[in-house]
């Protein structure tokens, strides 16, 4: 930035008189700095935003800004949990909501950081790409006057008997450099001292540009996935069919701009689920070692059925979504009749795994029972054993001795007020117990094919059999494939930028008075290049072989590595 210096000349009287020694006080120079206008301020702001330092800072800031998303419940994932969190923390819950900490990834401040990073990367890449394109089309820098000042320098002498003039030597050197990937320009208009300039390693900057461009691609792909993707979970019991509609999900997490019209109406039916347990190892006896779900899929209602196998880490792909096997368990099949003798519920009930050997908890809610709603809570044991103290436990994950142990209740289950409830939990605070271990009626213990009549004429429950179920995660991310491609490109670009070196080489030839051809060469690296000395030695060997120089003649003037002087290597001219 330039400075203007205004100097005011004043008379001795105006300057404050004379000093006692008779010297006149000199006028002081006042520096006037130019003021930055709106245009200059915008240019300065753009320069700061598009610097690589700012891009790295924004990338770090984006990672920090994502941390609250894992500390606080997020509204898109589970609105009910957020509502309950605000109720449980009334002092600061609403404050966090006003700061959008329950909607981190769609908040204004997170989006601002994301957009600034996107703009910063584009502002970094585009000017560098233009500059690199111009550099690739330009000729190598002209030959320095003193090659001996370059980091790697050497000379060769071609005997007069070889009959190789200076012009032929320079063209021979150009051919060798081209074979090594250099871009060469021969300058033979220098009379008796022709020379050449060569340059290679443009892929280094190409790798840098590919790396940064790929980062932009990853950001765009992640944004597309967040805007238009969705995920959900569903539990499938053997024989059940899932149709890809909103009502078909047990839990659904849409993207910011998700539309229900994006759901392709495919279907998947669980035909059979098989588990292989370890029956040979001592330490892991009874542990599951393989899972396989036989399913029937249809791409749409009119498409033919297709038999597929869903396994762990081997998803089934339908309608652009990936379906993963994430859990499994047992589902006891029960029939519950109410006090009026009508079937109030019939079918499988998902048992939630709680311990070893598929020890599972069971909750059954029967809101349609008359005259009172019924509730059951207890455990399912695939292979039941009873201790001397009368405590039941599961001794094996297979169905060798299935048992259903329940407590029963009646009263208002609280399902009619519209408040969401966890299907795996039963709130018994407002219910009246019918069966329990501490009551006279005792608990309910059922084996397959048995039934139990509830006290007080409240109805009955029968244990009809057992089915298996699986839990599946369904993910649709339209930007996932592109994110993978750009990530691989970023790695490839990074490898290029790290292992390719940008180098320049110059060769000058001349004819001595006695007929010998004198050759000198020098190399310069753009940046750090620890292999530059090896490159110089390789070129020297190639030149000696090209001109058939004997060992003593080639070494007549040894290769010299000259450190830069106080002023450094001579700059490209």
241, 408, 459, 512 from 452: Cα distances, Å: 31, 11, 9, 116
Q: For residue 131, give Cα distances in angstroms to 63, 119, 136, 137.
A: 31, 19, 9, 10
Task: Report angle CA 379, 385, 386 to the nearest 5 degrees.
Answer: 90
Cα–Cα distance between 464 and 479 in angstroms, integer? 46
pLDDT at 556: 44
Measure the CA dihedral 459/464/467/472, to 10°. Answer: -20
Q: Which pLDDT does position 315 carry in this prediction? A: 92
- CB contact at 8 A, 409 and 431: yes
Phi, psi angles (nearest 5°) of residue 219: -60, -45
- Whether 397 and 357 have beta carbons less than 8 Å apart is answered as yes
Torsion of CA 28, 30, 31, 33, to 10 degrees: 170
CA distance 160 to 307: 83
pLDDT in tens, the chain (573 residues): 444 444 444 554 444 444 455 444 455 566 666 677 888 888 888 888 888 788 889 989 988 998 988 888 888 777 778 888 888 888 888 888 888 888 888 888 988 998 898 898 888 888 889 988 898 888 888 889 899 999 999 999 999 888 888 889 999 999 999 999 999 999 876 566 899 999 999 999 999 999 989 988 998 998 888 888 888 999 999 999 999 999 999 888 888 788 888 888 899 999 999 999 888 877 778 888 889 999 999 998 888 999 999 999 899 998 889 999 999 999 999 999 999 999 999 999 999 999 889 999 999 999 999 999 999 999 999 999 988 777 888 989 999 999 999 999 999 998 877 677 788 889 888 899 999 988 888 899 999 999 999 999 999 999 999 999 999 999 999 998 999 999 999 999 999 998 899 999 999 999 888 889 999 999 999 888 889 999 999 999 999 999 988 764 444 444 444 444 333 333 333
- Give the number of other CB atoms < 10 A from CB of residue 199: 24
Question: What is the predicted pLDDT for the residue at 308?
Answer: 94
Residue 553: predicted pLDDT:
45
Name the residue with tokens 């940046």: 527
Backbone angle region of 531, left / alpha / beta, with phi > 0 → left and psi within -120 to 50 → alpha: alpha
Sign of the CA dihedral running 167, 173, 175, 181:
negative
Report pLDDT for 512.
Answer: 86
CB 14 within 8 A of CB 22: no
Structure confidence at residue 26 (pLDDT): 53
Domain positions in the chain are 38-134, 140-201+502-554, 230-476
- Whether the CB-CB separation of 468 and 330 falls below 8 Å is answered with yes
**550: Cβ contacts below 8 Å, ≥ 6 apart:** none
Residue 344 in 3-state DSSP? Answer: strand
Quote the CA–CA distance of 143 and 104 in Å, as a whole number. Answer: 58
Specify the pLDDT at position 462: 96
pLDDT attached to residue 7: 43
Per-residue tokens: 525? 């690296």
Superfamily of domain 140-201+502-554: Sirohaem synthase, central domain (3.30.160.110)
Cis peptide before 220 (omega within 30 of 0): no
Cα–Cα dist 472/317, whole Å: 12
For residue 31, give Cα distances in angstroms to 26, 225, 313: 16, 56, 71
Please state the pTM of the whole predicted model: 0.68
């Amino acid at each position: 930035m330039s400075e203007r210096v205004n100097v005011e000349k004043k008379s001795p009287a105006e300057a404050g008189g004379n000093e006692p020694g008779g010297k006149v006080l000199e006028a002081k120079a006042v520096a006037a700095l130019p003021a930055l206008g709106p245009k200059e301020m915008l240019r300065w702001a753009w320069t700061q935003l598009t610097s690589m330092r700012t891009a790295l800072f924004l990338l770090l800031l984006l990672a920090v800004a994502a941390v609250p998303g894992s500390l606080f419940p997020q509204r898109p994932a589970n609105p009910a949990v957020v509502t309950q969190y605000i109720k449980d923390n009334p002092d600061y819950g609403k404050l966090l909501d006003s700061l959008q900490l329950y909607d981190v990834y769609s908040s204004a401040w997170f989006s601002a950081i994301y957009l600034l990073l996107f703009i910063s990367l584009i502002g970094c890449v585009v000017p560098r790409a233009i500059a690199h394109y111009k550099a690739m089309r330009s000729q190598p820098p002209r030959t320095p006057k003193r090659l001996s000042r370059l980091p790697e320098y050497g000379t060769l002498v071609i005997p007069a008997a070889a009959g190789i003039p200076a012009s032929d030597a320079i063209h021979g050197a150009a051919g060798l450099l081209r074979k090594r990937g250099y871009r060469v320009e021969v300058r033979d208009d220098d009379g008796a001292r022709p020379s050449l300039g060569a340059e290679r390693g443009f892929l280094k900057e190409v790798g840098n540009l590919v790396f940064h461009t790929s980062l932009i691609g990853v950001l765009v792909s992640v944004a597309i996935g967040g805007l238009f993707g969705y995920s959900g979970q569903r539990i499938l019991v053997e024989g059940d069919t899932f149709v890809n509609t909103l009502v078909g999900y047990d839990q659904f997490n849409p993207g910011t701009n998700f539309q229900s019209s994006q759901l392709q109406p495919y279907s998947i039916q669980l035909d059979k689920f098989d588990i292989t347990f370890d029956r040979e190892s001592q330490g892991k006896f009874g542990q599951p070692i393989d899972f396989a779900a036989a399913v029937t899929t249809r791409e749409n209602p009119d498409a033919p059925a297709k038999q597929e196998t869903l396994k762990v880490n081997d998803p089934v792909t339908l309608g652009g979504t990936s379906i993963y096997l994430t859990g499994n368990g047992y589902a006891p099949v029960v029939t519950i009749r109410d006090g009026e003798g009508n079937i109030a519920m019939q079918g499988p009930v998902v048992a939630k795994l709680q311990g070893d050997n598929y020890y599972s908890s069971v909750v059954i809610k029967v809101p349609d029972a008359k005259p009172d709603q019924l509730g059951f809570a207890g455990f399912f044991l695939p292979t039941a054993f009873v201790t001397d103290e009368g405590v039941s436990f599961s001794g094996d994950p297979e169905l060798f001795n299935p048992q259903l142990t329940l407590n029963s209740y009646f009263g208002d289950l609280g399902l009619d007020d519209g408040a969401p409830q966890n299907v795996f939990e039963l709130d018994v605070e407002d219910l009246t117990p019918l069966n329990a271990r501490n009551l006279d009626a005792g608990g309910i213990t059922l084996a397959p094919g048995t039934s139990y009549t509830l006290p007080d004429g409240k109805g009955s429950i029968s244990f009809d059999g057992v089915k298996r179920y699986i839990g599946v995660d369904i993910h649709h991310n339209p930007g996932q494939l592109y994110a993978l491609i750009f990530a691989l490109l970023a790695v490839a670009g990074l490898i290029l930028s790290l292992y390719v070196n940008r180098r320049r080489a110059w060769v000058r030839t001349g004819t001595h008075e006695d007929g010998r051809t004198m050759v000198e060469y020098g190399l310069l690296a753009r940046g750090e290049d620890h292999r530059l000395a090896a490159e110089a030695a390789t070129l020297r060997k190639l030149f000696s072989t090209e001109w058939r120089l004997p060992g003593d003649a080639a070494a007549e003037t040894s290769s010299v590595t000259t450190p830069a002087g106080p002023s450094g290597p001579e700059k490209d001219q």
